Structure 1
């Protein structure tokens, strides 16, 4: 699969920038001269298809009317992305207006009908990526089109993102229950659709009155990527996944209100990402996940959440090589431990500890170096947001207290650590001391990357000057880090 034909959600940022630059240099069809059209038309089909693969579905249809040379090409594309955003006004108002959604869905349905027309297709579609709003009026026709394409052998893999215009904060349980009912009805009416789904993204769906496991893991037998944004089976509910035949590789949870998620069996799962949970204790438990290699946990602990032992959460995992822990500037939700982590950390190669409140001690993170003797890359991010005012936190988050991990690190060494990345670096003595302590424990450390603090859009309004070392200060900072003893490469990334 080339970058040109790859769906946008699978492209890297560099690839997207490259494609944007390439396509932006192409003038609109109505502005091209006859000579330009002729030169393009002389290209071979594979090159023209590569060009079309860089465009959104709306532009592909428009481009196909350039000449008879181009007319058949859209129906030769092996991969299609039909995104509702391409049919909305640009710029689009926020929130999206009802009439804009209806008009966009009319256009999207028309485009889907055109691309899936059997009489025009000259080859099968290897992958269809469809992103739309859940509106019954249109879902019936789209469901029929996809079903017929699957049953006729025209469509192999199907990717579906069901969007919701409602802000999650304004979405009631009644709304979420209704969306679950509509999704279940859609899958039941067109069973061929979930059977060929390989990628599914849902927003604001409450499966409290339905069997969530049946809908997502028994109906969607080919599913490899599942993304759930504010989806659950009810507030503080237990959800257990036991799917030994599942092909799921990537599970993403964002603001899902499970009281606890138990992954009893997902043999193909390679990556799990959970951003914000509501559990009072350990939010996640693993059973059989032999392929799990990447785990991302991100949450700003609220008042009624208790800290837990990371070793308890990781129990049952044996192959994790990349771990991200993001505390989002709030209190730590992990309890002090070191030896208990050794089993789960035995294959760990990359560790990111993010969102450490700026007033917290950071030396406690050295415990992870002891528990992970094969660690090669360590990233530390300090959280300091000017917009993070105490009055915005009152009543929601716990009091922030610096961690106290009283541990004997002795003379432990990490011989594999090659790179340290420090995000939010400032010329503070405690940060110099921390970096030098890492150098002392890691004799093979080759590179230190110092990055400017990461701030949000709200921080920009405060116009607070950065404390990151200026150009004329960087040699002095590097000298203080090396301390005449060490010799790592030091990179300032501002």
Structure 2
């Protein structure tokens, strides 16, 4: 046991070490504080008299708590936002302001008024609202969806100046009236990024989007029959996850700068999506991400002469959560159609806990495709990446075929299966397929030689890597 004198010495050393932080120059302290959340920065500064004014000097104000913490601290978020913004010097630019908060009428009004005043009196480069609801979607009846939309509308009408200055807006769990979303877009004049999660304008509603400055648009779930991007001259990134209807879920109108398209769906119906139709007015997509949710393949392989014009700029393709029983040969249609494609990546994963229903596990997923020419060569593909690789004929034949077609390929990266503990806990009766991924260096070398053993193969076994 230490003596009282020893404990006092240790306490003094700890105090001296702790005080070293406050003795640093302000610019260095601000650099450190901006690397943590703003609430943590405020708590840190309270401990030192010399640091009390630093929160009002931050150039980045980020209040980003979990839903659980917001339920307890939504009032604190409103108070801290008001105190920091009201005490700031107008000469210090706010490069980033992000406030995540619960949709609560009184607290929202406080935050909105504080942000509006800051926008009117200070230099503010980017401002973001992420507005959560006190109930998650599983516990949201239609009455709650309508209530939350009405509360958001009231907030918008009470604080139009705050919304007019936003550059990013994230909303969830709201069912709007017919013209509400249009009104949001008109009010948020500076908006560059918009995210709707479980938001819509009613079951089988049509969303028509026009905005002069929107760069990024994300929709997840919701009950839109069709989303029409009519006029978005600056849109670069579009994400649409889990649309409920099959007929034209997404219509791309005037989107001349669209370069990244992300689509996710389970594809439980018999309908398939034709990229030639979806991208008929858009020939600028460089990055394409398709997530099949471990279900059936819902995109239709098409002839190269049909797809080539719309995929002329395509550089990367990511195909995520392909079911393990799927024949991968159909993915070669991307090589035939996209002559400039440089990277192809796909993940094979029977991710059971994310599937729509246990009944769908037995669904057949084979997609038939035949090459237009057996002599076709692709000159730009340089990298193939596969997650969930197994040493069976389905994989090895596909890799061999790709190596033969992509004459300038430089790297083939083969990763092991992903593991999901939730799948094992939720479906203990469904045994995982035995893994045949190579483990030892000898197994990997043997497989490399086997894949590249054909006399006509130009590619070298050395380009095949097993990073797992």
TM-score by length of 1: 0.85
Contact in 1 for aligned 2:215/2:237 (Cα 8 Å): yes
**Aligned partner of 1:214 among 165, 173, 183:** 183
My pick for the range that moved more, 255-264 or 206-215, is 206-215
Aligned to 1:150: 119
Structure 1 pair 210/178, CA: closer, same or farther in 2 (3 Å)?
Answer: farther
Select which of 331, 339, 344 maps to 1:365. 331
- Distance of 2:248 and 2:371 partners within structure 1: 23
Structure 1 residue corresponding to 2:198, chosen from 221, 224, 230: 230
2:311 is matched with which residue?
345
| Counterparts of 1:31 and 1:340, CA distance in 2 | 76
Change over 3 Å in CA distance of 1:445–1:201 after alignment to 2:
same
Alpha-carbon distance, 1:51 to partner? 0.8
Aligned mate of 2:42, from 50, 61, 65? 61
1:381 corresponds, among 340, 347, 351, to: 347
Question: How far has the Cα of 1:417 moved from its partner?
Answer: 0.6
SS of 1:116 mapped into structure 2? helix
Q: Does 1:271 align with 2:237?
A: yes
Aligned to 2:105: 136
Contact 1:75 1:123 in 2 (8 A): no
Q: Using the TM superposition, give the Cα deviation of residue 56 of structure 1 relative to its aligned residue in structure 2, in angstroms.
A: 1.7
Residue of structure 2 equivalent to 1:240: 208
Which residue among 50, 68, 78 is the counterpart of 1:109? Answer: 78
State the alpha-carbon separation in 2 of the partners of residues 378 and 141 from structure 1.
49
- Contact residue 129 and residue 168 of structure 2 kept, 8 A: yes
Q: Quick one: structure 1 residues 398 and 233, their matched pair in 2 at CA, closer, same or farther if it must change by over 3 Å?
A: farther
Inter-partner Cα distance in structure 2 for 1:122 and 1:152: 10
TM-align CA RMSD? 2.4
Consecutive unaligned residues in structure 1, runs of 5 or more: 1-29, 89-95
Corresponding residue number in structure 1 for 2:95 = 126
Question: Structure 1 residues 414 and 134, CA, compared in 2 at 3 Å: closer, same or farther?
Answer: same
Deviations 1:204-232 (A, max 9, x none): 111135431221x2111111111110111
Greater than 6 Å deviation, 4+ residue runs: 119-122
**What per-residue deviation string (whole Å, max 9, x for no partner) do you get for residues 241-282 of structure 1?**
133xx2111111111221111111101111111111111222
For the residue of structure 2 that corresponds to 1:51, the secondary structure is: helix
Q: Larger Cα Rg: Structure 1 or Structure 2?
A: 2
Per-residue CA distance 1:295-333 (angstroms, 9 max, x = gap): 011110123x61131210111112111101111121221
In the other structure, the counterpart of 2:156 is 187
- Residue 80 in structure 1 maps to residue 61 in structure 2: yes
Correspondences of 1:279-298 after superposition (within 5 Å): 279-298=245-264
The aligned residue for residue 307 of structure 1 is 272
Q: Distance in 2 between matches of 1:108 and 1:31?
A: 34
Segments of structure 2 that go 5 or more residues without pairing to the other structure are 1-10
1:177 aligns with 2:142: no
CA contact 2:133–2:148 (8 Å) conserved in 1: no
- Mean Cα deviation higher: 37-46 or 186-195: 37-46
Question: Contact 1:262–1:284 (CA<8 Å) still a contact in 2?
Answer: yes
- What is the rounded CA distance, in whole Å, between the counterparts of 2:100 and 2:445 in structure 1? 50
Q: How many residues align?
A: 447
Does structure 2 conserve the Cα–Cα contact (< 8 Å) formed by 1:301 and 1:398?
no
Report the alpha carbon displacement of residue 47 of structure 1 after superposing the two structures with TM.
1.1
* Cα distance, 1:141–1:356 mapped onto 2, change above 3 Å: same
Deviates more, 1:278-287 or 1:59-68: 59-68
Whether 1:319 aligns to 2:284 is: yes
Normalising by structure 2, report the TM-score.
Answer: 0.89
Q: 5 Å matches for 1:427-438?
A: 427-438=391-402
Moved more, 279-288 or 430-439: 279-288
CA distance in 2, matches of 1:435, 1:312: 29
Judge conservation of contact 1:224–1:248 (CA < 8 Å) in 2: yes
Structure 1 counterpart of 2:27, from 46, 59, 72: 46
- Partner residue of 1:410? 374
Distance 1:382 1:397 in 2: 14
- Kindly indicate whether the alpha-carbon contact (under 8 Å) linking 1:84 and 1:105 is maintained by their aligned counterparts in 2: no
Offset at residue 388 of structure 1 (A): 7.8
- For residues 134-178 of structure 1, give each alpha carbon's deviation from its aligned partner in whole angstroms, at most 9, with x where no partner exists: 011211211221122222235443200001242313312221122
